[in-house]
Structure 1
Amino acid sequence: MSIKKGMVAMQIQKSYQNDSAGVLYIVPTPIGNLEDITFRALRVLEEADIVLAEDTRNTGKLLHHFDLKKRMISYHEHNKATRQDQILAMLAEGQTLVLVSDAGMPGISDPGYEVIQAAIDQDVAVIVLPGANAALPALVGSGLSTSSFYFYGFLPRKNKEREQAFELLASLDTTFILYESPHRITQTMEQLAERFGNRQASIARELSKKYEEYLRGNLPELAAWISDHPLKGECCIVIEGKQEQQEVEWWESLSVKAHVEQMMKERECTSKEAIKQVAKTRQLPKRDVYTAYHIQ
C-alpha cells in the first residue's frame, strides 16, 4: 500500500495480510552444507508456484535433494532485464514466486536487486527469509570487532575503479568485508597488504564445508602465506578499520615502487639494497618488492 503525501509516496507493506496478491519471497540457500537450509525455506519452496533460479541446474540439485518438484525459471545477471516484465506479470496474476541464487542470500553480490526494486515499486509484497550467507560467519569468526562493519563485496577489476574502492575502504574506521575468487585472491591480498599495511585481517574459505578454513594475521603475513599456498574455494576477507591511535607511517601513502625510489634517493643506495629494506619495512616477500619495482 502506498500513501502519497505531497510529492512523496510512503509505502507500508503488511507482508501476511493479503492472500489474494502475488508475493515475491527471497530465500537464501546453503553456501555449502545442505543442513543449513531452514524448515521455513523448505516450506516456502514447496508452496511456491515458480522458483526463480540463478542457475536452474544448481537449484535443481538442491530441490532434488529435498524431494521438491517445482517449476523453475532462470533469472541471472545476463537475462534479468528481459525477465523482469514476465516476473511482474506473474506476480500481478497473484502467483507466489521464490527467488534463489546459487548459494547464500539473493541480492548480496548475486542477482536480485533489480527485480526486488521493481516488485516493490508495483506494491508487491517482498518477503525476505533469514538464512545462510558467507559475510556474517566470516566476520564473527575473524575475531575482529563486530560492533560496526561495512560490507563491500567483490572489488572492481578495472584499476581506476579498484583504486577508488581502496580509497573508500582506507577511510573506514569500522571492520570491512570483501569477497574474492580463488583465481584473484593472491593478487588482491598483495594489493591489500601494500595499501593497508599491517592491519589485522582474516580470510575465511569453504565456509560450512568439509575443508572450512580461517587464516588470521596481519595483511603482509596473509599475503606471503597465500603466495606460497594457493587457496581453493570462494574467499571472504575481513579487515580491521583504521585505528586513530595508530601512527601512520610516512611510506603508507606510497606505492611499493615509489617507496623503493625514495629509499634510493634518501640513502644513496642501489635498488637491490633499497628493495631489501622496503621488504623488511613493509613485511613483504623480497621478490614481491622486486617485481613491483622492476616489472610492474
Structure 2
Amino acid sequence: MDYSIYFVPTPIGNLEDITIRAINVLKGVDIIACEDTRESKKLLNHYDINKKLTSYHKFNEKQKSEEIITNAKAGIKYAIITDQGMPGISDPGHILIKECIRENVPYTILPGASSILTGLIASGFDNERFSYYGFIPKKKQDKNKLYENLSKENKTSILLDTPHNILETIEDFKNIFPERRLAITRELTKKFEEYKIYRISEIKDSDLTLKGEFVLILEKSLDKKSDSIKNYKNEIFYMKKSGKSTKDIVKSLRKSTGFSKNEIYDYIISLD
C-alpha cells in the first residue's frame, strides 16, 4: 500500500539503530517533519538524506497537523520524526494520527527503537503486563495523583524523569513504597548507558549520575492479600502530608486493599 504519511522512529542514542526501511522512507518522501530540525540533521546527514525539512513540535502540533493533512491530500508525502524514539509517545505525533483517521488519510507506523521497551526489558521485572505513565508531573496535585495510582498498581510501571527532578522523585518513592524495587536506566544505547536495579529504600543520592533522560521501571505492587495494614504506614503518612482527610485515606485504602473500613480507621487513629 502507498501511504501519505509515515511515522518513522529514530535512534534513541546509537545512530546505527535505524532500519533499512526507515532510511529508504526518509529518502523517498517529499518532506520530513522534525521535532527539532537542527537535531534531526545529525541523523539525516549521517545517512546522506537531503530532503526539505519542516518544524513539527508540541507547541505547533495542532496547527501543523492541519497543514500536513491538507498537503497530504494534495499528494505530498511526509515522514514524521522526533528527536529520538517513536513519534506519538511522549513526543509529537498523536494529534496528527487522530487527524489522519478522521480525514481518512492513509498512514503507517514503522517499527524501531524505543527507550520505554528497552528499559523495561533491561529491568528483568515482570513484562507480561505493564503500564506506561510518561513523564513524572511537576505540579504537586498531578504528582500526588500519580503516586496514589502507583501505590496500588499491580503491573510493572514505566516512567520518565529528568536530571533536575530525579532526586526528588527517589525521595518520594522512599516515602511511599520503600520495599519495592526500581530499575533506573539512563543514556540507553549510548556509550555511557546504565541499568541499575535497587531496593528503593537503599538508593543513595551518590548512586545517581544526574545526566541524560531517565527511564524508571517500578516493580509492581506487592500482593495485598497477605499484607498487614501496618505495611501501609508510609503511604498513610504521605497521604496525610498531601492534605488528605482520614475519611479520604480510608476510602482510598479500601479500594486498593482487602482491609475493612474499621480496620483501616482504627490503624490511622493509632498513628496520631
TM-score bracket relative to the smaller structure:
0.7 to 0.9
Provide the TM-score with structure 1 as the length reference. Answer: 0.76
What SS class does the counterpart of residue 16 from structure 2 fall into?
Answer: helix
Aligned to 1:211: 192
Query: Which residues of structure 2 form unaligned runs of 5+?
Result: 242-272
Which deviations, in whole Å up to 9, do the C-alpha atoms of 1:184-216 show, x marking residues without a partner?
111111112211221011011010000011110
Provide the TM-score with structure 2 as the length reference. Answer: 0.83
Q: Distance in 1 between matches of 2:100 and 2:207?
A: 48
Shift of 1:171: 2.1
Whichever residue aligns with residue 186 of structure 1, its letter is: L
Matched, 1:39 2:26: no
Q: Distance in 2 between matches of 1:94 and 1:146?
A: 41
Which deviations, in whole Å up to 9, do the C-alpha atoms of 1:64-101 show, x marking residues without a partner?
11001010100001111221221111111122111000
Matched, 1:241 2:243: no
Relative to structure 1, the CA distance from residue 83 to residue 257 in structure 2 (aligned partners, 3 Å threshold; closer, same or farther) is: closer
Q: Distance in 2 between matches of 1:196 and 1:155?
A: 16
Whichever residue aligns with residue 235 of structure 2, its letter is: S
What SS class does the counterpart of residue 86 from structure 1 fall into?
Answer: helix
What SS class does the counterpart of residue 67 from structure 1 fall into?
Answer: coil
Q: Distance in 2 between matches of 1:217 and 1:228?
A: 10
Quick one: which of 204, 211, 221 aligns to 1:232?
211
Aligned to 2:42: 61
Mapped contact 1:186–1:230 kept (Cα < 8 A): no
Matched, 1:251 2:230: no
Which deviations, in whole Å up to 9, do the C-alpha atoms of 1:127-177 show, x marking residues without a partner?
001100101111111011111111111011100111111112222111010
Q: Distance in 2 between matches of 1:250 and 1:44?
A: 52
Mapped contact 1:190–1:220 kept (Cα < 8 A): no
Aligned to 1:181: 162
Mapped contact 1:138–1:236 kept (Cα < 8 A): yes
Query: Which residues of structure 1 form unaligned runs of 5+?
Result: 1-15, 260-296
Who wins on radius of gyration, i.e. which is larger?
Answer: 1
The percentage of aligned residue pairs carrying the same residue is 39
Whichever residue aligns with residue 254 of structure 1, its letter is: I
Matched, 1:24 2:9: no
Alignment of 1:253-272 (within 5 A): 253-255=235-237
